Amino acid sequence: MNLDTLTIRHVLLRTQCYFPRSEIVERVGEGQVRRFRYAQLAEEALRLANALKQLGVSEGDRVATLLWNTWPHLVAYLAIPNIGAVIHTLNLRLHPNDLAYIANHAEDKVLIVEESLLPLYEGFRDKAPFQHVIVIGDATKVPGALSYDDLIRTHEPDRSALAEVHWDTPAFLLYTSGTTGRPKGVLYVHAQLALAALALTSTITYYVSKDDSILLSVPMFHVASWALPYAGLVVGAKLVLPGPHPQPVDLLNLLSDEQGTFVAGVPTVWHDAANLVEKYPGRWTFSPRLRLILGGSAAPEALIRRWQSFGVTVIHGWGMSEVLLGLQAHVKLNDFPPEERTQWLLKQGMPCPFVEAKVLTFDGKEAPWDGQTMGELLVRGAWIADSYYRGESPESFVDGWLRTGDVAVIDSEGYVKLVDRIKDVIKSGGEWISTIELENALMSHPAIEEAAVIGVPHERWQERPIAIVVLREGHSVTEEELKEYLRERFVRWWVPDAFVFVDELPKTSTGKLAKATLRERFRDWKWEESK
């Protein structure tokens, strides 16, 4: 048995041989797009591969990218791993100090950066280890930098630079967002990316196919864009790249103009997009085949129902930087009565094929499948990390299982439901309170735009919840009305003791609620302030 076809080399050659006419669309400005074919992608990837090889990039070297979801980034996805090097996608939403740390920790040899992101690069240029900097745009803005366009023009599109990579050759490096400490590296080998891409095409996951028009809205620096670029390329699907600084209106325009059938992202992005759809009815026309995959954090019921009301199929899933593909909720929906299906869709779902999940209680025992017993979610599988780069934080891995840091329950159907992050769950008077469930309930209230619930120290109860909420435009509601709304849905001791009304909530670099920022902001909360 030869597993060495499970490589990105296979993806590159497949695009070139079997799908040369498949289309790639890139947004380059307001209302402006560029159109390419797979044949052009393969050719440019080979040109970049040869250029990097001549610059001295060898097998195992890390080549960093500081790029939006653009055509050159897709080219890099194919070129870099195919010379045996490792593509290291830098998170352009991180602070320059974090980027400097990550680049040095990875020992990056080359940086490919877009001209629009040069101000960010300047913030850590003097601390970075790069031997070569390649600029997409005006390279004269960086002393000693090389022009991407010149490199592509002056190198041939032959296969001489391609390495004989194997299934276990390192291919992709990314770092966690570092919300709980220094960012940690996650290194994926070729086979993990290939298998995840193949899994995405399965009818028991997300059934990506040749007939799809895939909007690559998940940042390509974020867990390999959930492996979607490789999945799309494997089947010859149409790929749509949102380009620099994409806003929700840009995503909606592309979905409508390119008749998108597949898009994914974190709930906060698609919450903002839903607001626009409701504000401008009839402005966008969606394909009847459009599937919206919500992941990264638990999606509120209100958000799922809003997108369903637009005629969009919503798929709830879960993954993380260390997981790629983890859980999905839609697989068995037809097994349940129609009136129950939304409740099942609210859960993160059952594991993908070749992924296993279990919950360990806080005293270290495996939780029963009763839908009630809480504990930490552990996962393992073919494309799930079993260590961090350079062996850091070994405590996060137990006997081949990844400790996710998520609090969850498993029900009798094998469906996992996230209850909270371990660092976010509130222990009050010896009992656990789920902030996620409270937040989702609050966001179902017609007056609430966004909500976050955190625990703050309490002299008697150890911790008590407070809610920080953003009101929808033109709406008002009182603290007591919100308390009564929650009392109808939860036991009284779950209901937050105080509500704080703010204009906006802080977000992390991946678009999730920045709970750590809120806890720091309210750490000196005085309970008399709520009176």
Q: How far is CA 363 from CA 393, 401, 407, in A?
A: 21, 17, 13
Judged on CB neighbours under 10 Å (0-12, 13-18, 19+), 448 is buried
| Cα separation, 433 vs 455, whole angstroms | 9
Q: What are phi and psi of 258, to 5 degrees?
A: -100, 10
Report residue 163 CA to chain centroid gap: 29
- The CA radius of gyration of the chain, in Å to the nearest whole number, is 23
- Strands annotated E in 183-260: 185-189, 213-215, 238-241
The token pair at 435 is 């902030």
Alpha helical stretches, state H, 30-133: 38-54, 71-79, 96-106, 118-122
The token pair at 122 is 């300047």
The catalytic site residues sit at 176, 322, 427, 432
Q: Other CB atoms closer than 10 Å to residue 431's CB: what's the count?
A: 12
What one-character DSSP code corresponds to residue 501?
E
Report residue 452 CA to chain centroid gap: 20
Side-chain half-sphere of 310: how many Cα atoms within 13 Å? 32
